[in-house]
Structure 1
Amino acid sequence: MRVSGAVRRVLVAGACVVALVAGGIGPATAASGPSSIAEQAAVERYVMRVYSDLFGRLPDPEGLATWRGAILNGRPRVEVANAITSSVEYRSRLVTDAYVRFLGRGPDAGGLQFWVAALASGWTVARIDSGFLASQEHYLQAGSTAAGWVTRLYGDVLRRSPAPAEVDFWVRELARGASRAQVAMGFLLSTEHLSTVVDGYYVHLLGRHLDPTGQQTWVSALQRGVHDEEIIGGIIASAEYWGTATAASPTSIKVTVTPSRVAAGQPVAVTVTSYDQLGWQLADVSTQAWLTVDGSSSWCGRATCSIPAVGQQVITATWNGMTAYGLVYVDPGPAASLTVTPSTASVADGASALFAAAGRDAFGNAGGDLTADAVFSVDGDPAACVGARCRPVGAGTHQVTAALKGAPGVTGSTTVQVAAPGPVKFRAFEWGGYRKEQPGYQDGGVLGATAQWASVAAGDLHTLGIKTDGSLWAWGHNRMGQLGDGTRVAHDLPEPVGTRTDWAAVSAGGEFSVGITKDGSLWRWGVDGELGPGDPGYAPTSPQRIGTDADWSTIAAGQTFTLATKRDGSLWAWGDNQFGQLGDGTTTGRSVPARVGTGTWTSVAAGYFQAVAIASDGSLWRWGARSSTWWSDLPPELTPTRVGTASDWRAVAGGFGVAAAIRSDGSLWTWGDYAVSGQLGDGTTEVRLDPVQVGAGTTWAAVIFGLDHTVALDSAGGLWRWGRPEREPTGDLDVLVPGRVGVETGWTSVGAGSGYTIALRP
């Protein structure tokens, strides 16, 4: 590096104010006057950026207010910038930087004061730096030799090692009489050094390098004596610097929740606003923020949350790596149901019990005590209660219901057991029965005058009933001896089946009947499908025992076949097997029970030519005919085939080409291809090869099929029918969805046959 003639003079420039246009920096402009909040925010961001770039700190409140006011009052930014760069604080930083770079230490108080005063008097940064480089302290640190000092100048100023010839040149200049200050100034005013200096200003303040033309302009200006502070001031006063410094840059967000207190499930508006480092509001980013409650976003969407959980909840908003929180207090919603306590109660017949009702909202949150606001009833009769004290009458299980006043749909119930010394007795009610053509017959009328029935079962055209004393009774068609009374004579009214009084369960098929006595033995009578005329045991007209086993548990009769389970859960089948309904993998009939597979079962039902059952794991299975027609393209299933993947089934029923099942949540599902009268209950007469839910109800307790209709009980003991429940109807009586039969509750046992229904209640 050579500077011709420069080493023999010291350049001292006076103050100079210039309009900076080199390197693509536009001229600074003055503010037009007092302005909007947005303009005030821009000015504050500008002042903060200047302080950060020049002082490495945020402005103190006084400094921020001073420079903000100056700019907003119309003072040109170049004046403000020059005032800042000529401040004692900034010049102290320049001096301190020179001490550290050239002497490796901080300034002493006297030295700092001296050099700051020198800058204030007009000295340039280069002249100040030359003083440090020419000092005896610097010379000693360089080894006290001319060559060592020159080598160190190259490192301290030009940031490189010199070539030997370069060292020799400057050593000769010193030997000819040039002072160390002159040599140092030669280095400091060199194009090589100043090019790095001005480019560094641009990179630090504007984030970019200076183009060659602009670089030469500023290098020449500094070599002519323009102060570094003026160049820096010009840069920070430029439009380019202003644009980057005042750009809104969000550093935080704030969450506002409206309203701050809501009921469970009620939506709240979540407003998320971004702010800059000064706390100035920037933008509404609500629709861009990610909202969560307890780490889950399932209760929130964009700018809104609907929280079902009660208590104080924290809504967390995250946007562009920033997080903020909002609070909302969630109260229980309006009561959607009532919880009646005690959950179970036992009283003596004629005694009363005190109950209470508490609200529970749609999300299951417990509300307050609503006992005083509820109307209580027993089995639907409010006269059985005085306030919350209720008196159920009659032995057995009674339902105590509380209904919120003014909101009849908001209810809850519990059960109360009334002790009794003997068995519960029920009356039998009949629709479309065998006495329909007799004078005085009434659909839904009581069959018999006494309440003495325990259970009933309906076949195709005959009915079986067990009384509370364990005796068995039968009525209806009797062509094949299916009534079991020793004759083939039909009866319109119940007649006893033998003299036994230990019947536990019975089931009626097409033209046969099967039953289990309390000792676990199995019995049959009539024609069960496999034995023909001339075969031993064909069509017995009174109960005949099957085998010697005494561990039978449940029984289900189809049209011409039978299913039964033992106490160990094993499933057995016999009878006609034309469609594989015995589930043994063949179509060969059996006259005696044979086990179906090796699994265990909890519920079985026999349809006309198909079977459905629930395995002990709650899964649903079917086998036998897939269709009610002979010409169907659906092949029969000869072994149990699983239906779906659910494992929460608890009850099944089979009919003519149709089947039904109830899940543990109380929902009812049906399927089949014989839906011409709407017996699937889904509102159509369409074929359903896979289960479809019947409505949205979840209170079903039992279901059974007749030939063209379906009967079911709900959990409150309500009776429902649909399809075509009556024989030989006049007009179109098909009912495609469940219809309630009366308003009575307490129905416990139901049977359905070909065009008739029978059911029991107290």
Structure 2
Amino acid sequence: MTRTGPLLFLAALLGMCLLVACGSGTNQPPGGGDAKAERAAAGPFHSLVVTDDGRVLGWGLRDEGRIGCSAPTTGPWVIPGLEGIVAVAAGHSHSLALAADGTVYAFGNDTLGQLGYSGTTSCSPVQSEVEATVVAIGAALDTSFALDDEGGLWTWGTSERYLLGDGSTATRQLPAKVAGLPAVVSFNVSENAVFAVTESEGVWAWGLGHAGMLGTGDTSTQTTPVRITALDEYDVVQALPGNAYGLALLADGTVLGWGSNAQGQLGRTPGSPATVLEPAPIPGLAGVDSLTAGPMTVVAIIDGVPHTFGANPEGELGRGADLGSQGTALPVDLDGVTHVAMRLSGVQSSALAVHADGSLSGWGWNAYGQVGTGQPVGKYYTPVSVALP
């Protein structure tokens, strides 16, 4: 298997009405400006967007500096101190931003070393001390990741779930390269695992082995990178971990899945089967351009239209309020979508969709304003427009 270049990490958001009302998709956000979205990322409680002019917008929960200093109480705002940004990533209480020159900036909580510098928690962006030119970034709950231009994958923060890939559960304040890993061209993370597509030596994984999510044929936890040999015969474009399942998008537009199918996230009737230990085709899914894996919900973009399947407790499917978990991928009422970001952890979940014209849509859990409408709505069952300043 040979890949030709790095893919920017897609960070992710995936949700009981914790607020007074539940939205049906009719509420529109106030105001709006000329900003156009290029990329989106989301943590459990906040959201980030890169605009076409290299600024970073943030909204959602505002404590611990995760969306900058002195953020307003509602809606998106421009985070000061960031210019020329091409990608963002959002953890539990920290954020990362990648500049066009390969520099990584971080802000928010640093109690577990997730900012990657010789300092402490900071609401102002600081430079992560990655000793390389970075081309992609990612964030799990309290762990940070950076892919350099030579295929090296750097990690820092907590390794409570072995996400640092160094065999320990220790916390590391400064970035270090993952040892024993061939040159990487793309990677994706969840709160429980890391998947890396290498240039010529297949797909590698490490982290927790819940329900066989690492694709190794058993439920073993892997504290350092191991090769998913069952994928060696395939041309894998993306490899993505969920909370307890895994996905691989192939060059021909088909998708393989393994691990837990409790909520239908493997494209089968929820719970039937309960788990799949070896990668197997997801029925009826073809022509996929890109994938996003939330905790228990999947988004597949086909010709600009998001198709969703899996869990729907907070409207994550974006297809209405009366749906339980779904094992069949069906379209959301959107088009022209280039990228969807979903939360990487937890149960309550939401999603952001970036459109080719630079507009932004969102749906799902909104208890902390993660969808970005600035409205006191607990959840959105169908997509709403998000106005950008």
TM-score (norm 2): 0.73
**Where do 1:468-617 residues align within 5 Å?**
468-483=52-67, 485-487=68-70, 491-527=73-109, 530-531=112-113, 537-547=119-129, 549=131, 551-598=133-180, 599-617=182-200
- In the alignment, does 2:283 pair up with 1:695? yes
> Which of these residues, 310, 328, 334, is aligned with residue 737 of structure 1?
328
Question: Residues 512 and 502 (structure 1 numbering): CA distance in 2 closer, same or farther, change over 3 Å?
Answer: same
CA deviation profile, 1:500-553 (whole Å, cap 9, x unmatched): 321111111222211211121112222367249xx9734322222111645111
Query: Are the equivalent residues in 2 in contact too, given 1:521–1:549 (CA < 8 A)?
Result: no
CA deviation profile, 1:448-473 (whole Å, cap 9, x unmatched): 64561111112222110011111100
SS at match of 1:542: strand
Paired letter, 1:737:
T
CA deviation profile, 1:48-88 (whole Å, cap 9, x unmatched): xxxxxxxxxxxxxxxxxxxxxxxxxxxxxxxxxxxxxxxxx
Q: CA deviation at 1:625?
A: 0.7
Paired letter, 1:733:
G
Question: Residues 697 and 548 (structure 1 numbering): CA distance in 2 closer, same or farther, change over 3 Å?
Answer: closer
- In the alignment, does 2:240 pair up with 1:653? yes
CA deviation profile, 1:628-664 (whole Å, cap 9, x unmatched): 89xxx94420111111122511112222222222111
Q: Distance in 2 between matches of 1:431 and 1:588?
A: 28
Q: Distance in 2 between matches of 1:506 and 1:699?
A: 27
Q: Distance in 2 between matches of 1:500 and 1:596?
A: 28
Partner of 1:705: 293
Identity across the alignment (%): 24
Query: Are the equivalent residues in 1 in contact too, given 2:50–2:56 (CA < 8 A)?
Result: yes
Q: Distance in 2 between matches of 1:555 and 1:431?
A: 19
Q: CA deviation at 1:486?
A: 1.1
CA deviation profile, 1:226-285 (whole Å, cap 9, x unmatched): xxxxxxxxxxxxxxxxxxxxxxxxxxxxxxxxxxxxxxxxxxxxxxxxxxxxxxxxxxxx
Query: Are the equivalent residues in 1 in contact too, given 2:81–2:125 (CA < 8 A)?
Result: no
Q: Distance in 1 between matches of 2:256 and 2:48?
A: 27
Q: Distance in 2 between matches of 1:584 and 1:724?
A: 32
Paired letter, 2:330:
G
Choose 438-447 or 498-507, whichever is displaced more.
Answer: 438-447
Question: Residues 681 and 701 (structure 1 numbering): CA distance in 2 closer, same or farther, change over 3 Å?
Answer: same
Partner of 1:682: 268
Partner of 1:51: none
SS at match of 2:237: strand
Question: Residues 666 and 447 (structure 1 numbering): CA distance in 2 closer, same or farther, change over 3 Å?
Answer: farther
Q: Distance in 1 between matches of 2:280 and 2:73?
A: 39
- In the alignment, does 2:350 pair up with 1:756? yes
Matched pairs, number: 323
SS at match of 1:505: strand
CA deviation profile, 1:186-216 (whole Å, cap 9, x unmatched): xxxxxxxxxxxxxxxxxxxxxxxxxxxxxxx
Write 1 or 2 for the structure with the bigger share of strand. Answer: 2
- In the alignment, does 2:302 pair up with 1:718? no
CA deviation profile, 1:709-752 (whole Å, cap 9, x unmatched): 222212x112111223452897652122211112x432112111
SS at match of 1:748: strand
Q: CA deviation at 1:443?
A: 6.5
Unmatched tracts of structure 1, length 5 or more = 1-429
CA deviation profile, 1:278-301 (whole Å, cap 9, x unmatched): xxxxxxxxxxxxxxxxxxxxxxxx
Q: Distance in 2 between matches of 1:561 and 1:628?
A: 22
Question: Residues 731 and 719 (structure 1 numbering): CA distance in 2 closer, same or farther, change over 3 Å?
Answer: closer
Question: Residues 688 and 446 (structure 1 numbering): CA distance in 2 closer, same or farther, change over 3 Å?
Answer: farther
CA deviation profile, 1:407-453 (whole Å, cap 9, x unmatched): xxxxxxxxxxxxxxxxxxxxxxx998x99867987269679645611
Paired letter, 1:664:
A
Q: CA deviation at 1:701?
A: 1.7
Q: CA deviation at 1:597?
A: 2.3
SS at match of 2:38: strand
Q: Distance in 2 between matches of 1:439 and 1:696?
A: 32
Partner of 1:641: 226
- In the alignment, does 2:255 pair up with 1:668? yes
Q: Distance in 2 between matches of 1:548 and 1:755?
A: 31
- In the alignment, does 2:206 pair up with 1:623? yes
SS at match of 1:711: strand
Partner of 1:463: 47
Q: Distance in 2 between matches of 1:466 and 1:662?
A: 25
Paired letter, 2:294:
G
Question: Residues 696 and 745 (structure 1 numbering): CA distance in 2 closer, same or farther, change over 3 Å?
Answer: same
Paired letter, 2:175:
P
Q: Distance in 2 between matches of 1:594 and 1:458?
A: 24
Paired letter, 1:617:
S
- In the alignment, does 2:36 pair up with 1:452? yes
Question: Residues 758 and 728 (structure 1 numbering): CA distance in 2 closer, same or farther, change over 3 Å?
Answer: closer
SS at match of 2:112: coil
Question: Residues 590 and 683 (structure 1 numbering): CA distance in 2 closer, same or farther, change over 3 Å?
Answer: same
CA deviation profile, 1:670-706 (whole Å, cap 9, x unmatched): 2233x43222323333222332222243311211222
TM-score (norm 1): 0.39
Question: Residues 545 and 447 (structure 1 numbering): CA distance in 2 closer, same or farther, change over 3 Å?
Answer: farther
Q: Distance in 2 between matches of 1:447 and 1:740?
A: 27
Query: Are the equivalent residues in 2 in contact too, given 1:721–1:741 (CA < 8 A)?
Result: yes
Q: Distance in 2 between matches of 1:646 and 1:447?
A: 50
Q: CA deviation at 1:595?
A: 0.9
Query: Are the equivalent residues in 1 in contact too, given 2:113–2:171 (CA < 8 A)?
Result: no
Q: Distance in 1 between matches of 2:187 and 2:256?
A: 16
Paired letter, 1:468:
D
Paired letter, 2:339:
S
Unmatched tracts of structure 2, length 5 or more = 1-12, 213-217, 358-389
CA deviation profile, 1:363-390 (whole Å, cap 9, x unmatched): xxxxxxxxxxxxxxxxxxxxxxxxxxxx
Paired letter, 2:222:
E
Query: Are the equivalent residues in 2 in contact too, given 1:579–1:636 (CA < 8 A)?
Result: no
Query: Are the equivalent residues in 2 in contact too, given 1:521–1:551 (CA < 8 A)?
Result: yes
Partner of 2:372: none
Q: Distance in 2 between matches of 1:444 and 1:672?
A: 37
Query: Are the equivalent residues in 1 in contact too, given 2:40–2:47 (CA < 8 A)?
Result: yes
Q: Distance in 2 between matches of 1:447 and 1:700?
A: 34
